[in-house]
Amino acid sequence: MKKILIPLVILVLVAVACTTPAPKTQEIAEPSVPIYTGEAVVHEFAALPYSYDALEPYIDAQTMEIHYSRHHQAYFNNFLKAIEGSGYEQASLEFFFDNISYFSAAIRNNAGGYFNHSLFWSLMAPAGTGGAPSDTLAQAINAKFGSLENFQTKFNAAATGRFGSGWAWLIVTEDGSLTITSTANQDNPLMETEAVQGKPLLALDVWEHAYYLKYQNKRADYVANFWNVVNWNKVNELYEATLN
């Protein structure tokens, strides 16, 4: 009996082993949630680097006051509200822009509005104090656009041609070349969703809130006068930083 039983048990065990399906390899999905691993950032609403009337007569004091203390402040406050409880309270703006398609419209619009305006204020200075393009920047502008004047004409076209609300930009693309672009709403060229991406050197706000009190519907006049208050020293600094 034993002689028959032992081979029978072995046979059954082999049969069971052969018919038992191999465990499926667990599929590991690509993480869709971006993880912030950078340094903790404390978001701050920086002071305007000059007085409200400092850019007169090209940008009037009332527009500056409303633009900074109401519009910019609202973007900043709403950005903080939008990220509250998200787990991304201490993430950098660059991180949000790198992963912007993951985040809500509230984060996108307000992170953009917060960053774009902070940059914009720094890119302007009272008339006669902003310096001029450095030799390095001037060479790059000439190489790409032929002359400073041609560059300004093209930048003006981007600013006046942006339908509705948005921004005009001079950026450095990944291959190091200068490019003019424009974005809608509070988007910017750092956002991964933009067709033309790069590091901003110069930005111009063409929302009506930026000019309507003084210029009404004449956006082109506002754009032309912007050149009187460009802070080229800051533009030069941003360009140098992209070369390092």
Q: Which residues are annotated as a binding site for Mn(2+)?
A: 67, 117, 205, 209
* Residue with Cβ nearer Fe ion (33 or 47): 47
For the chain, the farthest-separated pair of C-alpha atoms sits apart, in whole angstroms, at: 111
Distance CA 90, CA 110 (A): 15
Q: Which stretch binds Fe ion (CB under 5 A): 5-13, 25-33, 184-192, 208-216?
A: 208-216
Q: Which stretch binds Fe ion (CB under 5 A): 28-36, 96-104, 201-209, 229-237?
A: 201-209
Give min distance, CB of 125 to Fe ion, in A. 18
Q: How is residue 103 annotated by DSSP? A: S
Give min distance, CB of 65 to Fe ion, in A. 13
Residue 205 touching Fe ion (CB under 5 A): yes
Residue 207 touching Fe ion (CB under 5 A): yes
Alpha helices in 123-226 (DSSP H): 135-145, 148-161, 212-215, 219-226
Alpha carbon of residue 8 to chain centroid:
73
- Name the residue number minimizing CB distance to Fe ion: 205
* Residue with Cβ nearer Fe ion (141 or 187): 187
Alpha carbon of residue 74 to chain centroid:
18
Which amino acid is residue 160, in one-letter code? T
Count of alpha carbons within 13 angstroms of residue 105, beta-carbon side: 1
Q: What is the DSSP string of 171-201?
A: EE-TTS-EEEEEEETT--TTSTT-SS--EEE
Q: Which stretch binds Fe ion (CB under 5 A): 7-15, 48-56, 95-103, 206-214?
A: 206-214
Mask for 147-186, x = binds Fe ion (CB under 5 A): ----------------------------------------
* Residue with Cβ nearer Fe ion (91 or 204): 204
CB 133 within 8 A of CB 148: yes
Distance CA 64, CA 53 (A): 7
Residue 181 burial (10 A CB sphere; 0-12, 13-18, 19+): buried
Give min distance, CB of 194 to Fe ion, in A. 18
Alpha carbon of residue 184 to chain centroid:
12
* Residue with Cβ nearer Fe ion (125 or 140): 125
Number of residues that bind Fe ion (CB under 5 A): 3
Q: Which stretch binds Fe ion (CB under 5 A): 22-30, 73-81, 185-193, 204-212?
A: 204-212
* Residue with Cβ nearer Fe ion (210 or 223): 210
Q: Which stretch binds Fe ion (CB under 5 A): 37-45, 78-86, 140-148, 205-213?
A: 205-213
Q: Which residues pair with 184 in a beta bridge?
A: 166
* Residue with Cβ nearer Fe ion (187 or 205): 205
Residues that bind Fe ion (CB under 5 A): 205, 207, 210
